Amino acid sequence: MSFWNIIKSLDFKQLWILLLWFLKHPLYMFATAKATYFTIRISQKEFPDIHDQHNKANAFRHALWNLLIAKESAKFSSDLEAVLNWTKRITDWHEEFSPNKEMPKLMDLHNNKIGRNHFLEYQENSKEQIVSLLKNELIKAVQIQQKSTFKKFENQLVYLEK
The residue type at 146:
Q
Q: How far apart are the first and last CA of the chain?
A: 20
Number of domains making up the chain = 1
Cα(90)–Cα(150) distance, rounded to whole angstroms? 22
The residue type at 43:
S
In tens, the pLDDT along 80-95 reads: 999 999 999 999 988 8
CA-CA-CA-CA torsion sign (149, 153, 159, 162): negative
Residue range(s) defining the domain that contains residue 143? 3-159
For residue 24, what pLDDT is reported? 84
In tens, the pLDDT along 143-160 reads: 999 999 999 999 999 999
Tell me: pLDDT of 2 over 60.
no
